[in-house]
Amino acid sequence: MNVGFIGLGAMGAAMAANLLKAGHTVTVWNRSPEPAAALAAQGALVAERPADAAQGEAVLSMLANDQAVRAVILDGGVLEAMPSGAVHVNHATISVALAKELVAVHAQHGVGYVAAPVFGRPDVAAAGTLNILAAGEAASIEQVRALLEAMGRRVWSLGEAPERANVAKIAGNFMLAAAIESMAEASALTRAHGIEAADFLEVMTSTLFAAPAYQGYARLIAERRFKPAGFTLPLGYKDVSLALAAGEAARVPLPFAGVLRDSLLEALATGDPDRDWSALSQVAARRANLPDD
């Protein structure tokens, strides 16, 4: 397929590279030129403007937040440039309110719309083994299924309302944040009683919590390895805030999400924002008057 890819951060660049490997013709755009140049060396075409990447059968975007989606997709002429019947696949983790707005705007332009946020860090994206949550009209999903399958281990269909995929992604990231916070606090407790975090977390992730998410983040906490970040503290703060907003809109109390938001805010206030969100363990250590470096 002839497709565009907009947004080449660590995730987007890896995803676009897998589309190239699968034999698709990919035109890329990114605000900073270096990631686009790296993909050009792999065979990608480089667009000067976002709209120039949106003239094929589909355009995929992986942008940071609501503000970036508005600036690039809604205000950057992307939808106006897309041919009638083309499909926009939005991989960004965005608010439910914006997700609903995008459905209406795409319909006005005669463009298909699929929300397809992903679970997986940059190494998973590079391996092409993301889990992709897809919601939108069935015909639109089928139109881009080959693209999604080139980037992911499995495509999880969540119905025809695109915002459902965004809600599921937000809820999943809330659960990840809760797992990190629980390991951070529990390992601070064991350290205060003389048990190293690495020893305690090895026991837990080999027995009660022998799951990839726990094992991966436990290693980062035990090794105090927070850079380079697979998922930064500001992104974690954003997603937990999105969960709280979605809960408020539907009158669903999320009391622990408030705790997580405050912990993430404390992490942002007291250290490098470019750290991985597993740096929540440093917050727990400081609260217990333990060394955090």
Query: Are 232 and 274 contacting, i.e. CB atoms less than 8 angstroms apart?
Result: yes
**Active-site residue numbers?**
169
Q: Are strands 130-136 and 118-119 parallel, antiparallel or unpaired?
A: antiparallel
Rounded to an integer, what distance in angstroms lies between the CA atom of residue 149 and that of residue 57?
16
Quote the tokens at residue 58.
């589909």
In contact, 24 and 1? CB cutoff 8 Å: yes
Torsion angle, alpha carbons of 115, 173, 93, 32, to 10 = -130
* Helix segments in 48-111, DSSP class H: 66-69, 78-81, 96-108
Alpha-carbon span 51 to 73, nearest angstrom:
8
The tokens describing 164, both together, are 């459902």
